[in-house]
Chains A and B, each alone.
Chain A
Amino acid sequence: LASWLPVVGLEIHAQISSNSKLFSGSQVQFAAPPNSLVSFFDASLPGTLPVLNRRCVEAAVMTGLALNCSINKKSLFDRKHYFYADLPAGYQITQQRVPIAVNGSLSYSLCIDNKMSQMVTKTVRIKQIQLEQDSGKSLHDDARSQTLVDLNRAGVGLMEVVMEPDMCCGEEAAAAVRELQLILQTLGSSQAIMAEGQLRVDANVSVHHPGEPYGVRTEVKNINSIRFLAKAVDYEIQRQIEELENGGTILNETRAFDSRLGCTVSMRDKEGKQDYRFMPEPNLPPLILYDAKSLRANMNHQQVVNIDWIRERLPDLPSVKRAKLVELYGILPEHSFTLLNEDGLAEYFENVVKHTQMKPKKVIGWILNELLSFLKERALEVKDSPVSSFLLADLLNLLERKEISSSAAKQVFKELWKGEGKTPLEIVKEKQLELLQDQEELEQICQAVIDRQEDEVGAGMLG
């Protein structure tokens, strides 16, 4: 059997974290009364015009810089036409010809063989990042044969990030998206919560034999979590391989992932291939960005987006944060991944280290083994932990000063978890878990035990 090379590319839509929409002043908010966050422009009423939101431009530039892209100092807006009830204008304003950022890269890490101890770094090329409008939401009521439309989401700013087909399986796709999610959250350009639709991923999948041209690709949609992304991609790869090995062909089509059945199903429309009739958006001039060199003294600052200014203020990206944690605290690289993977865990760890004499290399064990497993068992986030970093630091100090044993410390931790407001010291006294420190006292006890035993032996011998 000849081997198959799967090829996976991704199109990711990230909702921009902003107060108002991309081209209008209505609010961006998840879960509001239907059609309450809709302006006349969003509803496409005649006589309305798009006005670009500065914050959305800055978010796209930040993201482009973080992904090592070239920022296009001049980018253009276009109309992409199609008819659907949740797209009142009949077109979406996007950037098809010249997007705001191009030619970047994203590095991500994978565990080999599911062992955290062996990590490998991979890179995926970023083709481009473009600004575009989100559509409204359609609620399908099949029973009454109708669709209910809520335009609250219509017009919300999106960054579409296109990843080249450099990935080869579900695991790689999931790891790349996870790293992108962390980067977006660190930048603040998007909260990227998949469950709230702030991060949507479509996968392009094909397979071919080594040395042969790429095969026909399918597009997989309706993927609602990172875990399902890996499943959907792997399923589609398998499906295509089986189809081709059975002598079938792959159609260039769109398929939806069914999370319940764990498979992809054809979404083929009777209307056939879409022609979006792209045209320049006539109401928007080109978007011009500046840098330190092109800036002129007489420019209105409110009207200027300065790429260099934004670059100087970029926060430490996850990869930099991890490297710093490893260097500063002497922990392993895989530890740094876990610390950054849980919201607030790195800060918790650093605070414990700050308040304890215990070495960071020992503290990390308590964080990753005790704390994290307790949190996971109860499906809690770090911020909801009943044991604060200060309490844990106190406990670890007792252990470090040898006032209690390691097993006693674990018992105390379990008690602390009940969140009854007791300090570690109080629990130790209550349960009499103190280790005896006094040498003389220890000798006396040992002697007493030996004496008691001798009496028993004597009694036994006499009896």
Chain B
Amino acid sequence: EQVPAAVLEHLERLALVDFRDAEGVRRLREAVRFAERLHDVDTEGLEPMDSVLEDRCLYLREDDVTEGNCTKELLKNAREKIEEYFVAPPGNIPLPKLEERETFEQQS
């Protein structure tokens, strides 16, 4: 089935992904269809498993300072920096509305 345009826009806004063209949207549809196969399995009365690690021991670390003090290295990744601060735009830049963007709708 088709993924409604409103849902696509919502997903693009939430996850900041760009489905770019008809091929991208088709791939999304395939992914959803693949995941929907899970509904075929009867899980009545079963505890959900949300991680294959569920029976592993969660390792607890001692409260010692073992890292940090690498300001220079970290700032190497920054496009812009001021006096050891990372520089970012003032608040989130809102994604332009669907009509204002070149997306799959316009290209298909």
Chain A residues engaging chain B, CB cutoff 8 angstroms: 18-20, 24-27, 33-41, 43, 45, 51-57, 76, 81, 83-85, 138-142, 145-151, 270-271, 275, 277, 280, 282, 284-288, 302-303, 305
Contacts and interface: CB of A to CB of B under 8 A. Distances in A.
A37 B68 CA distance: 5
Contacts of A270: 94
Contacts of B85: 34-35, 139, 148-150
Contacts of A35: 71, 74-75, 84-86
B84 to A, nearest CB: 5
Given A26-B68, A35-B84, A285 B54 contact: yes
Given A85-B88, A271-B94, A280-B50, A285 B67 contact: no
26 contacts: A19-B63, A25-B66, A27-B68, A34-B83, A38-B70, A43-B77, A51-B59, A52-B59, A54-B61, A54-B62, A139-B85, A140-B91, A141-B90, A146-B89, A148-B85, A149-B85, A151-B74, A151-B86, A270-B94, A284-B51, A284-B58, A285-B51, A285-B53, A285-B56, A285-B58, A303-B60
A33 B64 contact: no
Given A81-B14, A83-B16, A286-B51, 16 more contacts: A19-B65, A25-B66, A38-B68, A43-B77, A51-B61, A146-B87, A146-B88, A148-B82, A149-B85, A149-B87, A277-B15, A280-B50, A284-B51, A286-B54, A288-B58, A303-B59
Interface string B74-103: 110100001111111111101000000000
Nearest to B66: A25
A147 B89 contact: yes
Main secondary structure of the interface of B (DSSP, over half): loop
B38 interface: no
Contacts, number: 143
B84 A34 contact: yes
Task: Choose among A145, A282, A286 the residue with the greatest number of B CB atoms under 10 Å from its CB.
Answer: A286
B55 to A, nearest CB: 8
Contacts of A151: 74, 86
B35 interface: no
B39 to A, nearest CB: 19
Interface string B6-42: 0000100111100000000000000000000000000
